[in-house]
Amino acid sequence: MTYDGAVIDLDGTVYRGGDLLAGADIGIEALRRRTAVAFVSNKAIERRADYARKLTDLGVPTEPGEVLNSGAMTADLLAREYPDRAALVVGEAPLVADLEAAGVRVTETPADAGVVVASMDRSFDYETLTAAMNALDGDAAFVATNPDRTCPVADGEIPDAAGMIGAIEGVTGRELDAVAGKPSPTAMTAATNLLEADPGDCLLVGDRLETDIEMGERAGMTTVLVLTGVTDEADLREATVEPDYVLDSLASIETVL
């Protein structure tokens, strides 16, 4: 089969922690011989150039323009939907940098915030939770970079943005107004625009059913689940989302192509 583009997840699909997954470079090379590739990460703890540099250092030469992350997608969403609102950020410095680069004003004062952005924050504490609660005591919007519960790392998994989102929801009773990353339409549109391709003509490769595969399924993409990340065979048997293909790893993508 032929495709006009391939959307490839990063954590758990191409690498875990700082290590390239076995054969991932071979799989990416096979895809690049046939179509355009976009790497799309739900993480906002690094910027696009950082991801491109990491991939290049791991033996997968990549330009920043081939990468999308949830920080950049959130920045675009806020600049478009809430252009005059200051953002209180529950997240890390790269996310703040992405927002500011898009012209979004960032504030640490809850009373000034017109939107609260929740993301993975490895320094999340009671003071941060209190600030988010106070900022949402009014008409501020509540936006998340991504809904992931965990992030795969070299020796297991660590808490991701869902932990911060859940804590804020718990103390405010508020639900999210928008999510920028996978599986949202925002992420799908950003990825297919980068590839200049229709969703139905694209391949999606990822390790997480409820973000990667769900986004692809909603958009009509051909979906490929790899078992090198957070999803295992037991999860697959119980899932309501069904990938078109299941592979042990990205190294086997030739069997789909």
Among 159, 179, 199, the domain-final residue is: 179
Question: For the segment 9-56, what is each residue's pLDDT rounded down to a tens digit?
Answer: 999 999 999 999 999 999 999 999 999 999 999 999 999 999 999 999
Alpha helix segments (H runs only) across the chain: 24-34, 48-57, 70-81, 93-101, 126-135, 161-172, 185-195, 214-219, 233-238
Same domain for 140 and 240?
no
pLDDT band at 1 (very low <50, low <70, confident <90, very high): confident
Same domain for 161 and 81?
yes
Same domain for 112 and 172?
yes
Name the residue among 63, 47, 144 with its Cα closest to residue 100. 47
Task: Please give the tally of structural domains in the chain.
Answer: 2
Same domain for 134 and 227?
no
Same domain for 166 and 132?
yes
User: Can you read off the two tokens belonging to residue 253?
Assistant: 């993508």
Among 162, 179, 196, the domain-final residue is: 179
Question: For the segment 209-234, what is each residue's pLDDT rounded down to a tens digit?
Answer: 999 999 999 999 999 999 999 999 99
Residue 55 lies in a domain: no
Spatial distance between the Cα atoms of 122 and 92, rounded to a whole number of angstroms: 8
Which sequence positions are flagged as catalytic?
9, 11
Same domain for 233 and 192?
yes
Residue 139 lies in a domain: yes
Average pLDDT over residues 166-175: 98
Task: Tell me what the pLDDT averaged over the chain comes to.
Answer: 97
Q: Looking at the DSSP assignment, which residues form a beta bridge with residue 152?
A: 157
Residue 64 lies in a domain: no
Residue at token pair 């799908």: 188
Residue at token pair 């990205």: 250
Question: For the segment 176-211, what is each residue's pLDDT rounded down to a tens digit?
Answer: 999 999 999 999 999 999 999 999 999 999 999 999
Residue-range definition of the domain harbouring residue 250: 5-42+183-255
Residue 127 lies in a domain: yes
CATH number, position 81: 3.40.50.1000
Q: What is the dihedral of CA 217, 221, 222, 225, to 10 degrees?
A: -50
pLDDT at residue 89, rounded to an integer: 98
Residue type, 99: L
Average pLDDT over residues 130-142: 97
Which residues fall within 8 angstroms of residue 51, CB to CB, at 6 or more apart? Answer: 10, 39, 41, 62, 64, 67, 69
Among 179, 197, 214, the domain-final residue is: 179
Average pLDDT over residues 107-131: 98
